[in-house]
Amino acid sequence: MLIFWEKRLVFLATPKAGSTAVEAALESLANVAVQRPAELKHTDLGSYRRHIEPWLHQMTGDRFTTVALMREPIGWLRSWYRFRHRDDIDDPDHAMDGVTFSQFAQSYAGSAETYRQIGMQCDFLTRSEDRVDRIFRYEEMQDLTHFLEDRLDCAISLPRVNVPPAVDVSLSDEHGAMLRRFLHRDVALYDSLCMVAA
């Protein structure tokens, strides 16, 4: 999470949606940069509204604009799968060894424990009828970059960081359809971003 005090702007770091690159590029410009622990770095909208926004409003009398990225939902889960593979290198039990993306996706959709560990982007970016003020698609990162350049009055170049290993992330049509049904709230939110931008 990055807070730009004078610009009244807060960047909320959606997990597995390019937040590390944004933070690497903009940390020096932010008044507050929370990068660890992960629970604070990835402060969701609900936690922001409950804990951080009241403090910012009390200090400034202003409302800060919230900004975040969202990744295409199945691509987002693929990123989680790659991340888990990278983390697995240091695990002597190799929990991900031999687990295909299709199996991982089925576990995500069917196992309460796996789902709890990962969650959904819509739960990060929304709270009831409330949502982050400006949500940009990860796949159209240049839109976020242009917005931030205008808002922060500086040129921004995003580095390539936190790159996961290349692994097979193919998915059968059947499992792809199952996953889209399970991720229907994320799919609906992602699709709405195109309408907002239009």
Indicate whether 136 pLDDT > 60: yes
Percent of the chain with pLDDT over 70: 91
Tens of pLDDT along 82-99? Answer: 888 776 556 555 677 788
The pLDDT of residue 146? 94
Mean pLDDT to the nearest integer, 2-8: 96
| The 3-state secondary structure of the chain, one letter per residue | CEEECCCCEEEECCCCCCHHHHHHHHHHHCCEECCCCHHHHCCCHHHHHHHHHHHHHHHHCCCCEEEEEECCHHHHHHHHHHHHHHHHCCCCCCCCCCCCHHHHHHHHHHCHHHHHHHCCHHHHHEECCEECCEEEEHHHHHHHHHHHHHHHCCCCCCCCCCCCCCCCCCCCHHHHHHHHHHCHHHHHHHHHHHHHHC
pLDDT at res. 162: 63
pLDDT at 158: 81
What is the predicted pLDDT for the residue at 3? 96
